Amino acid sequence: MRLKIFNSVLAMSHAFRELLKKVGSGSHTGENLSRSEAADAMRMMLLSEATPAQIGAFLIAHRIKRPTGEELAGMLDAYEQFGPKLQPCSRHQEPIIVLGTPYDGRERTAPVTPLTALILTLVGQPVVMHGGDVMPTKYGVPLIHIWQGLGINWASLSLPQVQQVFDSTGLGFVYLPHHFPLAYGLVTYRDQIGKRPPLATMELIWCPYAGDAHIVSGYVHPPTETMFQDAYALRGQKYFTTVKGLEGSCDLPRDRTSIVGLAQPDAVPPLERLLLHPRDYGFAGNEVPLDSLTDLVAQMHSVLEGKPSELMSAAIWNGGFYLWRCGICPDIKSGLAEAENLFTSGKVAQKLAEINQFVNSLKLA
């Protein structure tokens, strides 16, 4: 019996070795994986059918080679097969928004992504977010900790409970350690190889939702956006937004021109390029530095109280853009005015209190 199990594991590791050889053979003899091969590789890593040595070697070799859009599509196929998904709710109009932001967090600039999520859900645009704890290689402030600072501990909820929060309030958060432990098991390799693996790119366009979604993906380097487009095309994802955002996030910068890609079904061209100059709208300014999580949460509470600040300006700049992009407001200028009104009137703070109250009711049940 033991010999049979050993032979089975050996066969699986041999299968993975062949895929490893393709991506790790160097610039002259190396090959890209097909979509099905990339899906197989991701599946074998998730299920630990590949050995630890093979997984580490694959991730660093793939990092050096650089993934293709086809490979990212295959990896997403495996995530779709084994990963969690929030289900559609009859109360919510689709498409919902999925905000894809780097799992290893922020370390230089103050994020406003949670404030963007709150303002969207307030006006009836459902939002799904996803991520984990402090993570290699940046070890920046992750979204989960910001939400905890705002009073919402997504880490304490089961996936069915997150579904209840999403159904009731329009906001959901898929937390990797509890809701997708297979993927979380690969996090340790990020620290060991010391570099972001292709997983970190793929996660930006992962959609843990079973219905129609509009995926917003942040990026840093322009070639990454091309990978996104190729992967989306292969997977039939026609409604998405790409943002050359702060530290690879969905947050629009204020100290430079915002470079945005807009794609939606039947659009010609398939990706429209939008260059947003903050100064044209009166929102140019320096980025708010991220000093500490405690300071960030205090600044966010100040924004929710309607007090003017540089972070308030960043929140309005982003909120206004996304209100327009989601079709809530007819243009960016009116989106900015509406975002300012929703923050200063206390309505966004009321939405946070509503979500917080619902989450606490689940803990007491």
Annotated domain spans of the chain: 2-82, 96-351
14 vs 116: which has the higher pLDDT: 116
The domain made up of 96-351 is a member of CATH 3.90.1170.40: no
pLDDT digits (tens, 9 = 90+) for 126-178: 999 999 999 999 999 999 999 999 999 999 999 999 999 999 999 999 999 99
Residue 5 pLDDT > 80: no
In a 13 Å sphere around the CA of 293, the CA atoms on its Cβ side amount to 15
Across 1-21, b (16+ Cβ under 10 Å) vs e yields eeeeeeeeeeebbeebbebbe
pLDDT digits (tens, 9 = 90+) for 38-59: 999 999 999 999 999 999 999 9
Angstrom distance (rounded) from CA 122 to CA 118: 6
Model confidence, pTM = 0.94
pLDDT digits (tens, 9 = 90+) for 177-220: 999 999 999 999 999 999 999 999 999 999 999 999 999 999 99
Matching CATH number, 2-82, of 1.10.8.290, 3.40.50.300, 3.40.50.720, 1.20.970.10: 1.20.970.10
**How much helix, strand and coil, in percent to the nearest 5, is found in the chain?**
55, 10, 35
CB 204 within 8 A of CB 228: yes
pLDDT digits (tens, 9 = 90+) for 280-309: 999 999 999 999 999 999 999 999 999 999
Residue 25 pLDDT > 90: no
Bridge-based pairing state of the strands 240-243 and 258-263 = antiparallel
Q: Band of the pLDDT at 245, cuts 50, 70, 90?
A: very high
CB 86 within 8 A of CB 128: yes
